[in-house]
Structure 1
Amino acid sequence: MAFADRARVLSVGSVTLLAACQGAPAAAPPSPSAPASTGATTASPAASSASGPTFSFAAGKVVVLDPGHNGGNGRDPQAINRLVPAGRGQTKPCNTTGTATNAGYAEHAFNWDVARLVGRTLADKGIHVVYTRADDAGNGPCVDERAMIGNRAGAAAVVSIHADGAESAGAHGFHVSYSSPPLNAEQGAPSISLATTLRDRLRAAGFGVSSYFGKDGLAPRSDLGGLNLSERPTALVECGNMRDAGEAALMSTSDGRQRYADAIADGVFAYLSRT
């Protein structure tokens, strides 16, 4: 398991990077001041040093961003294929490699870039951001550990960022998932509100809802470990279908990824304003 039982936490402004203690070395974060103490729960909110307005309802709250998969997953199949708890009495492989566009642009790289862009916007508004992985070069963490990171951080919101790889003809559009039926109070109304708000802001930004999964851009699920094991308001965004030519082209550009990130960050702000 590349993501060790104990994580190393690096604070950069109001952003926390949870780095693996084993496996591929984490990429150095930009100009860190000093490592913080061990464990996500020790991370404390920090005020933004960036210029621009700070949202009083959001400043100091903790948001966990979970960029799906990891760049090194394919190099360690034994680690990522081992079974871990996935909630509802299920077990699932620790993690997977994710999908890619037909031209070879990998989902894990898309997820990582969009998560960093979202995190930068949130941190600039005084929100304390925790990532479930520190770079795009390692493997893991497992789905159960990703959920535990959000739980330990006491996150006001957990957002998992993915892209889909549906092969069916004409499959396109985004969908947002949440755990259903809920296993605890936070998986009920809070998670539904988070998912619905993210859906609304993505749609307002011009992204079309999924033509092939869920209904009206929402897809309640009972089979995703990261959602089932969460004790915090949690939603998973499938930003679009990487096998659709139009969406693949958008995801493969920096401007396209910024558009996705802006909409997701906007959704987080809107959700936090009501909590």
Structure 2
Amino acid sequence: MPHDETAGSATPTAPPRRRPPGVRIALTLTVIALLAGSLVGWLLSRSPDSSPGPDTPSEAAATTAGSPSPGGKTVDAKPPHPSRSSGAGTDGPLAGKVIVIDPGHNPGNFQHTAEINRLVDAGTHRKECDTTGTATNAGYTEAAFTRDVSVRLRALLERRGAKVSFTHDGERPFGPCVDERARFGNNARADAVISVHADGSARGNRGFHMILPGLVTAGTADTRRIVGPSRELGEHIAAGFARSTGSEPSNYVGEGTGLHVRKDLGGLNLSTVPKVFIECGNMRDPEDADLLTNPRWRQRAAHGMAAGLQSFLVK
């Protein structure tokens, strides 16, 4: 009669054959080794030191496949999709801090020139809602660059415990306008705001620079409370950016300091919280363009910004 595991059987069966002691010991040691390896792998995956180094793409960006740009350079085929706002981290050096990232321009601005040419309040005057931004000679746009770097930066800041928000996340066809970008940081009561850009200057003009708000007390602008903190924020980010990327401060603006004060930008004039712009390099210079189109360099750029933000916010 065949043995049925679902019912008892009175038919006697032969006792199971026992393995030699040496085989049992070897199997036991193998099982212990497998369990120990699994435990170590799990602990490493939970370690805060497992975050990527300066040359490693962030988790969000690493999911994006690379493809050659029109000039043959490898750039991200499609920047990873950032969320408008993240939840606050529960631990880390930036826990409790609110940071707003403003990715400069919008890929859709090119198709909405009438809308972005509409004049809006810039504090002391009226100016265009937004601009298209610049691009490399091979066609890699500033809007694509700023969004990619912003996503990488967000991942780094969130791992340090910060609550991070974006002024836009690709959900709108163009914009937002410069006055709305300023209000976003104000309404979030951000501890710091960084607007990410790349410049479009002449060939031979190289390097990065921070744009800082000047002292403005006219019209709807009053920057008295943020001029000092914004300058300090800019100095910290400039130092972190230079260390992480190896880039030099701009050779064409800021007199070698990497710091440039402006009073004509609505995004700064209308801000009530510490805010800076960073021009990461010149897209129209071939050497800078080689850096800006390199995903590994963009990851280092994000690391530099994150380090600067942290050193400013944690004292």
TM-score tier, shorter chain, comes to: 0.7 to 0.9
1:114 aligns with 2:149: yes
What residue in structure 1 maps to residue 298 of structure 2? 257
Q: CA deviation at 1:28?
A: 9.8
What residue in structure 1 maps to residue 242 of structure 2? 203
Q: CA deviation at 1:251?
A: 0.8
Distance (Å, rounded) in 2 between the aligned partners of 1:129 and 1:187 = 20
Distance (Å, rounded) in 2 between the aligned partners of 1:186 and 1:127 = 23
Distance (Å, rounded) in 2 between the aligned partners of 1:260 and 1:137 = 26
What residue in structure 2 maps to residue 78 of structure 1? 114
Percent identity of the aligned residues? 44
Q: CA deviation at 1:138?
A: 2.6
Q: CA deviation at 1:47?
A: 2.1
Q: CA deviation at 1:184?
A: 3.0
SS of the residue corresponding to residue 95 of structure 1 reads coil
1:190 aligns with 2:226: no
* Aligned pair partner of 2:201 in 132, 150, 166: 166
Aligned residues of 2:103 and 2:196 also touching (Cα < 8 A)? yes
Aligned residues of 1:178 and 1:187 also touching (Cα < 8 A)? no
Q: CA deviation at 1:204?
A: 2.0
Structure label with greater radius of gyration: 2
Runs of at least 4 residues off by over 4 Å: 27-30
The one-letter code of the counterpart of 2:254 is G
What residue in structure 2 maps to residue 180 of structure 1? 214
* Aligned pair partner of 1:101 in 129, 136, 139: 136
SS of the residue corresponding to residue 130 of structure 2 reads coil
Q: CA deviation at 1:186?
A: 3.4
Aligned residues of 1:109 and 1:136 also touching (Cα < 8 A)? no
Structure 2 gaps of 5+ residues are 1-78, 217-221
Distance (Å, rounded) in 2 between the aligned partners of 1:259 and 1:170 = 23
Root-mean-square deviation (Å)? 2.1
Task: Identify the structure with the greater helix proportion.
Answer: 2
Q: Which moved more, 1:228-237 or 1:247-256?
A: 247-256
Q: CA deviation at 1:44?
A: 8.6
Q: Deviations over 1:83-118 (max 9, x none)?
A: 000112x11100000000011100000000001100
Distance (Å, rounded) in 1 between the aligned partners of 2:182 and 2:116 = 16
* Aligned pair partner of 2:169 in 134, 137, 141: 134
Distance (Å, rounded) in 1 between the aligned partners of 2:295 and 2:279 = 18
Distance (Å, rounded) in 1 between the aligned partners of 2:118 and 2:162 = 35
Distance (Å, rounded) in 1 between the aligned partners of 2:237 and 2:164 = 17
Where do residues 2-41 of structure 1 align in structure 2 (5 Å cutoff)? none
What residue in structure 2 maps to residue 21 of structure 1? none
* Aligned pair partner of 2:276 in 229, 232, 235: 235
Distance (Å, rounded) in 2 between the aligned partners of 1:231 and 1:246 = 36
